[in-house]
């Protein structure tokens, strides 16, 4: 039985990877924090507590590679992919590294580079301004229409600077007028770096997902984000799979973009999609397994096991058709519902509209639908869900 080491089984992403690999005959070794959800799964055949430092983690992986000869290694987070790439030469001597190269990751992590490549393929991108100082705002203020969105060009690169100065890393921030924009940007004067300013685009999240080798697509899948946490944009909390007959022109452009950068491995190309305008605005490329991987798994689109097959010289078991289902990330979905009902003034998206009755009916309908699944809970593998609940209760009590 071939072995696969999964680095980062603390999240639903790592759990979905473990379930996929185990069900397709692989011996799984899950590395994560103590008492994490992945270690509670019956699909984690060997649970390993993550080493306490980056250097010790590399030693830990080398030790495992000697024990499990010829094992493959999958990493979930961008920071872990970055660490592994720093030690790629020595790790690749004994492990089959199923991660993108450092040069490829640099392109997708830097949103400005992503935009430059996309524009060469006539892919619509958000109007973007980058500043080296707040004083430059005056020169562009006539071009800005509010609200605007603030995003970091490369969140991984800026993270340590923010931590050093005790500043939070926001996925996005809204500014509704010039004064608020100046106030938000002033927070970052201490690190002498500023997030990009982007024009706001109304719509829903459209995710298109691929498995590539040498830039050629071997698997594809797509979904619509129906709900996110926070509600104005963030992690998917309820999503719905879409058949490949939808959004074909956009899908072809996504494939061309990945071919242009000669992508290796899995990737998510994310758009803001407005159905009324039939407008697709590229948001980013995630060069890793994505947060809603559980939806692909429940749709019977198995990215993790096919990733191992593809880069082991085996045939992939893929299909252009798949089950149409929904998946819910329950605890964040309930947090979203609480925000919608009790804290609506905290929702910053000016176009966000819903009603409490509709939200309650929608959630109830999801519970009873046979086509609705969950990021964590499974009747065949229930322990990760209860471990997650227990971990959450411990955080509240401490």
Angle at 70 between CA 67 and CA 72, to 5 degrees: 100
- Is the pLDDT score of 398 beyond 80? no
Query: What's the pLDDT tens digit per position in 108-126?
Result: 999 999 999 999 999 999 9
Residues 6+ apart with CB under 8 A from 73: 4, 5, 7, 61, 84, 91, 95, 96, 97, 98, 99
CA distance 221 to 320: 8
Report, as an integer, the average pLDDT of 367-391: 93
Quote the pTM value. 0.95
- For each of the domains in the chain, give its residue range(s) and CATH number, in order of start: 3-99 (3.40.50.20), 127-199 (3.30.1490), 204-384 (3.30.470.20)
Per-residue confidence (pLDDT) for residue 27, from 0 to 100: 98
Whose tokens are 């809603």? That residue is: 292
Overall residue count recorded for the chain in this entry: 398
Q: Which distant-in-sequence residues (6+ apart) come within 8 Å of 210 by Cβ?
A: 217, 219, 220, 221, 254, 255, 258, 263, 266, 267, 268, 269
Q: What is the pLDDT of residues 320-369, one digit of tens each?
A: 788 889 999 999 999 999 999 999 999 988 888 888 899 999 888 888 88
* One-letter-per-residue 3-state SS of 192-214: CCCCEEEECCCCEEEEEEEEEEC
Would you say residue 284 has pLDDT above 80?
A: yes
pLDDT at 394: 86
**CA dihedral sign of residues 137, 143, 147, 153:** negative
Banded model confidence at residue 171, pLDDT cuts 50, 70, 90: confident
- Tell me the C-alpha distance between 238 and 362, whole Å: 11
Distance of CA 77 to the CA centre of its chain: 9
């Amino acid at each position: 039985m071939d072995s696969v080491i999964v680095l980062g089984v603390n999240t639903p992403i790592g759990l979905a990877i473990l379930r996929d690999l185990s069900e397709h005959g692989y011996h799984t070794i899950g590395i994560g924090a103590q008492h994490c959800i992945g270690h509670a799964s019956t699909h984690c055949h060997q649970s390993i507590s993550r080493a306490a430092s980056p250097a010790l983690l590399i030693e830990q992986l080398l030790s495992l590679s000697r024990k499990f000869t010829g094992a493959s290694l999958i990493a979930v987070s961008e920071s872990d992919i970055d660490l592994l790439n720093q030690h790629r030469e020595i790790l690749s001597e004994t492990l089959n590294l199923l991660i993108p190269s450092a040069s490829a990751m640099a392109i997708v992590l830097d949103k400005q580079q992503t935009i430059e490549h996309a524009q060469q393929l006539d892919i619509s991108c958000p109007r973007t301004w980058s500043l080296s100082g707040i004083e430059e705002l005056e020169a562009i203020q006539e071009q800005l229409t509010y609200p605007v969105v603030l995003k970091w060009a490369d969140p991984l690169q800026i993270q340590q600077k923010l931590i050093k100065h005790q500043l939070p890393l926001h996925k996005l921030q809204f500014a509704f007028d010039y004064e608020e924009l100046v106030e938000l940007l002033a927070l970052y004067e201490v690190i002498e770096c500023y997030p990009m300013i982007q024009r706001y685009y109304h719509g829903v999240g459209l995710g298109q997902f691929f498995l590539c080798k040498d830039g050629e697509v071997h698997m594809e899948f797509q979904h619509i984000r129906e709900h996110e946490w926070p509600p104005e944009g963030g992690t998917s909390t309820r999503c719905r799979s879409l058949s490949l007959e939808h959004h074909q022109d956009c899908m072809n452009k996504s494939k061309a973009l990945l071919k242009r950068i000669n992508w290796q491995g899995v990737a998510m190309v994310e758009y803001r999609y407005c159905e009324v305008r039939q407008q697709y605005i590229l948001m980013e490329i995630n060069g890793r397994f994505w947060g809603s991987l559980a939806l692909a798994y429940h749709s019977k689109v198995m990215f993790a096991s096919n990733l191992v097959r593809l880069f082991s010289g085996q045939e992939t078991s893929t299909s252009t058709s798949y089950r149409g289902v929904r998946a819910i990330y329950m605890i964040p979905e309930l947090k979203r519902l609480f925000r919608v009902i009790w804290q609506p003034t905290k929702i910053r998206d000016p176009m966000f509209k819903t009603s409490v009755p509709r939200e309650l009916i929608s959630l109830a309908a999801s519970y009873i639908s046979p086509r609705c699944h969950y990021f964590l809970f499974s009747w065949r593998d229930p322990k990760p869900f209860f471990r997650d609940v227990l971990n959450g209760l411990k955080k509240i009590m401490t």
